[in-house]
Amino acid sequence: MLYSSDLSDSQWELIKDIFSTKKRYSHKYSKRNLINAVFYIVKTGCQWRMLPKDFPDWRAVYNFYDRAKNKGLWEIMMQKLVTVNQKKPSVDLKYGIIDSQTTKSNNKCKDSGYNGGMRKPGGLSQEISNYFSS
């Protein structure tokens, strides 16, 4: 494992069947390396073309990601991982996704300084805290 986003051997064993193909021809890149590259992009937020050289070519990674997305393989993988973790009695699962975007505007912008999503007092950090503490 070169990167913290890379799959461990035990993690790979859980999901390798989802990404296996029935066709018997050899692939230029291993599925595990392609998945590690996708996980690297998801974790770091880097651009496809900025993928480090020790991963497969960015076009191959993007095509793999897109084909897997269209087949629903990422959803299947997530469902399997959630199911496996729910069977462990010591694991308390709480999932959350945090996403934000800030854009610059000029001084003439009518809605400058207004965040339409935050209609409650307390701000985003309070909302996140309330979600995970409940």
DSSP symbols for 61-116: HHHHHHHHHHHTHHHHHHHHHHHHHHT-TT----------------TT-TTTT--T
Cα–Cα dist 115/65, whole Å: 33
The three-state secondary structure class of 53 is coil
Q: Which residue has the higher pLDDT, 44 or 134?
A: 44
**What is the predicted pLDDT for the residue at 122?**
45
Statement: residue 8 has pLDDT above 90: no
Give the pLDDT mean for 7-22.
86
Res. 117: pLDDT tops 60: no
- pTM for the whole thing? 0.63
The reported pLDDT for the residue numbered 133 is 46
For the cut 50, the answer to whether the pLDDT of residue 105 exceeds it is yes
Interaxial angle between packed helices 58-71 and 73-86, expressed in degrees from 0 to 180 and rounded to the nearest 10: 70
pLDDT in tens, 37-81: 999 999 999 999 999 999 999 999 999 999 999 999 999 988 888
Question: How far apart are alpha carbons 70 and 74 in whole angstroms?
Answer: 9
